Amino acid sequence: MAASNADGTLGEHVPRYESNDLNSQVIHIGSFRNSWLETLPPDLYSYEIKSEEIEIAQLAEVLQIPTETLNELKDICSVDSLKSHPDDQPVDSNVVPPNPDLACLRLRKKRQDYKKTLVRDLVGRHDTYSNEMESVHMGLMPEDSTSVVPEGEIILSFNIVYPILFERFKHVRAHQTMQVLGSQNLTELRDAICCVSDLQVFGEFSNMPDATPQYISKDHYKSAFFYFEGVFYNDTRYPECRDISETTREWAKTRDFPEFKTAKMEDMTFYDLRMKIGYPYFYCHQGDCEHVMVLTDIRLIHPDDCRDRTLYPLLSHKHRVMTRKCCVCHLYISRWITTNDRLAPMDPCLFCDKCFRMLHYDAQGNKLYDFQAYVYVDPGVFN
């Protein structure tokens, strides 16, 4: 998509794959966007909707056929001609004819008949799938005209991987897929990443279960960094922030590694970065909670994208996980985890709030025996 140099070779900021189907070479995000805008005609990335006549004329030119032939094909292949019901009957997309002729309708009829045979409780289930999140914001315009994403803006897609891969997981799974604008600061992506470790409440509360503090670990431990192409981008927005990449950099000095650089996360935009498409990078927070993140796509924004800048970084995919239920009632989500608990069937053991209090305390709220209790935050909270 980028222009060639005078000698016919591709520019240095054009992504070329150094490993087939894996990752590209290092590119400068801002220069890549500039090469795009210099090469493409403005009408290809403009928000202005083309008239139907112009689109037909351009398509006819690409197909090298007369405009009259293209209009005839349009009428023959129109969706209005694909009807399985009389014209005088109302259309109900949920009703499939009993003996459909179209193969797609036969498959849909088979699927509907199969669903009727299932016996399950759908109360409380999610009505939408995680891959439909992006479609909710398609073409969304902001109420404030100053919040409109300008034409020619770059959208980058990042896959944020789970911090811990359990043994039963045979493949790396993306916890979230975030879409960010090239003009946004790195801190905006850092604040948008959701991790269960940010919600943890530290401390042992078996003696005072009602005295759990209101703050979470993200409010107390605010240090974090991104690692992209030999540079640690540290979050230094708050006085309590520390350079948690210093330990890694000092260790690297004692080994045969090139010297790593540092920069402030809040001073950098994605246009300032040099990255590889498809290459794993690094995000670390809470001291040692480490996430692999992969830049999977770079593209220009188009009219069907969400154009409300306040909604970016935009969550386009979220992996749904199973919630951990109470080991007593097997009904409610766990809220407490206990250790050295002689009445628990395992150590450690999970309890919902109701079962936890009924089993471990008397009517006056006094502790019945010695054990340790900690607040448990279920990963399913992000569902």
Q: How far apart are CA 103 and CA 27, in angstroms?
A: 46
pLDDT of residue 185: 93
Q: How far apart are CA 72 and CA 79, in angstroms?
A: 14
Sign of CA dihedral 143, 145, 146, 151: positive
Question: Contact 319/163 with Cβ under 8 angstroms?
Answer: no
pLDDT of residue 346: 87
Strands 274-275 and 27-28, bridge-based pairing: antiparallel
pTM, to two decimals: 0.73
Question: Contact 25/19 with Cβ under 8 angstroms?
Answer: no
Decide if pLDDT at 241 tops 50: yes
Question: Contact 277/24 with Cβ under 8 angstroms?
Answer: yes
pLDDT of residue 272: 93
- What amino acid is encoded at 312 in this protein? Y
Find the angle CA(39)-CA(42)-CA(46) to the nearest 5 degrees.
135
Q: What is the mean pLDDT of residues 44-60?
A: 76
Q: How far apart are CA 245 and CA 266, in angstroms?
A: 16
E-assigned strand segments in 108-162? 154-161
Q: How far apart are CA 12 and CA 190, in angstroms?
A: 29
Decide if pLDDT at 138 tops 90: no
Decide if pLDDT at 170 tops 60: no
Q: What is the mean pLDDT of residues 79-103?
A: 73
Q: How far apart are CA 293 and CA 92, in angstroms?
A: 44
Question: Contact 270/180 with Cβ under 8 angstroms?
Answer: yes
Highest mean pLDDT: which range of 7-21, 162-176, 237-251 = 237-251
Q: In 289-322, which positions are buried (b, 16+ CB within 10 angstroms) versus exposed (e)?
A: bebbbbbeebebbeeebbbbbeebbbbbbbbebe
Tokens 């088979």 — which residue?
Answer: 110
Decide if pLDDT at 166 tops 60: no
Q: How far apart are CA 383 and CA 374, in angstroms?
A: 22
What is the Cα gyration radius of the chain? 28
Pinpoint the alpha helices (H) of 130-286.
133-136, 186-192, 217-220, 246-253
pLDDT of residue 28: 92
Q: What is the mean pLDDT of residues 103-132?
A: 67
- Tens of pLDDT, residues 177-221: 899 999 999 999 999 998 888 888 877 888 888 877 777 888 888
Question: Contact 258/168 with Cβ under 8 angstroms?
Answer: no
